Amino acid sequence: MYTPALIVCFCIVSTFAGVVHLPTYEDEEYILVPISRVRRQTTGGVDIFTCALIRLYFYNRQTTGGVDSNGRAFVSHTGTLVDNNRHHLTGTASASKQFRPNGPLTVGGNLDYTHKPSGSTLGVGASNTRGFGTDVGATGRYNFYNKGGTSVFAEGNYGRHFGGPGGTGRPNYYGGVGVSHRW
């Protein structure tokens, strides 16, 4: 069930990893991988240090975490993967766990893409709560016309719950066409 998500994560990580292969002797091989010990921006009184085997090169990144008054601990990391004149791609990974009373671990992630010239967007995401199943979703908006404060667009979304005590749910989806104008 986790195989497609792991394959996608591996492809993203391997694309942005700075790995150097260094053969030394005929029976020994080493791979040099950048290791980072940089303090990240945090909130909620939680200090998070990065010490990773593979370093992702994000343009902008932010890590947040903390514990709320109900005993739920959470951490989230957001980074910009691609940002140029035409495209903007942002990825987010998050995890949370209830400690008072003890609850299941919830992990999730999403990717958000924006085509800058047209303002069209696409977002996909998934969240898994151990023992309760996985929620997946996708949203998109395509701008046919976007000039002078007027926009003509088509939009849609899809969501579905898989697994858990209630089993796989029916898909929820929406599609529509709209016009907006700013005076």
State residue 5's pLDDT score.
Answer: 60
Global pTM value: 0.64
44-67: burial string, b at 16+ Cβ within 10 Å, e else:
eeeeeeeeeeebbebeebebbbee
Q: Which candidate, 120, 104, 121, places its Cα nearest to that of 112?
A: 121
Write out pLDDT tens, residues 120-150. Answer: 999 999 999 988 999 999 999 999 988 888 8
Residue 160 CB partners (closer than 8 Å, separation 6+): 135, 136, 137, 168, 169, 170, 171, 172
Dihedral sign from CA coordinates of 10, 59, 63, 20: positive
| Residue 89 located in a structural domain | yes
| Residue 176 located in a structural domain | no
State residue 182's pLDDT score.
Answer: 86
> How far does Cα 79 stand from its chain's mean position?
8
| Residue 149 located in a structural domain | yes
| Residue 178 located in a structural domain | no
State residue 163's pLDDT score.
Answer: 92
Q: Which residues of the chain have pLDDT under 50?
A: 18-24, 29-30, 35-58
| Residue 173 located in a structural domain | no
| Residue 11 located in a structural domain | no
| Residue 145 located in a structural domain | yes
State residue 183's pLDDT score.
Answer: 83
The pair of structure tokens assigned to 137 is 């979703």
State residue 132's pLDDT score.
Answer: 93
Which residue is it, tokens 């987010």?
92
Please give the tally of structural domains in the chain.
Answer: 1
State residue 102's pLDDT score.
Answer: 86
| Residue 10 located in a structural domain | no
Domain of residue 23: give its range. Answer: 19-165
